[in-house]
Amino acid sequence: MLAKSRVLVAEDEPLTALDIAATIRENGGEVLGPAAGVSEALDLVAGSQVDGAILDCKLRDGEITPVAEALLGRDVPVVLHTDRPMPLRLQGHANELPLFHKPTGSFVLARRPAQCILEEQTRRSVTMSPLQPSGRW
């Protein structure tokens, strides 16, 4: 499902983070993190290629907003997983940020970025390999 895609997990509840990470790995993805804090997540975003992300809205050191904005700026699919409302600064991106309320199964959470990653890979392959004339006419 995730075909070696790199998925950032930012979650400060250890059991939830481990469950999401295990599901990503079981479905062929590579886990970045889990990050328990915003600063740690930002470091991972800055230093890595990120293909998708599953983010808790509130981490140990603050709201996830700067991480989500950095990823959205790179056209990375993001899923929010939280027991809180979406942060105010992110509400303008509500169409781009699916919000799942806790508890949501980790398979459900992993499926959404996988769909977006597949769509993006398909879009890139179509735009990068234009049809070549066959010369048979």
pLDDT tens digits along 75-91: 898 999 999 888 889 98
Report, as an integer, the average pLDDT of 93-120. Answer: 79
In the chain, the N- to C-terminal Cα span, in Å, equals: 40
The residue type found at 62 is G
User: Using CA atoms, how far apart are residues 121 and 112, in angstroms rounded to an integer?
Assistant: 14
* Percent residues over pLDDT 90 in the chain: 53
For residue 31, the model assigns a pLDDT of 96
The two tokens of residue 33 are 């993190």
Give pLDDT tens digits for 56-65: 999 999 999 9
Q: How far apart are CA 52 and CA 42, in angstroms?
A: 14
Please name the residues in contact with 109: beta carbons below 8 A apart, sequence gap of 6 or more. 20, 23, 54, 79, 81, 100
Please, which pLDDT band fits residue 135 given cuts at 50, 70 and 90? very low
DSSP state of 38: H
Question: Looking up tokens 């603050």, which residue turns up?
Answer: 62
Q: Can you list the alpha helix ranges (DSSP code H) found in the chain?
A: 14-26, 38-47, 65-73, 106-128
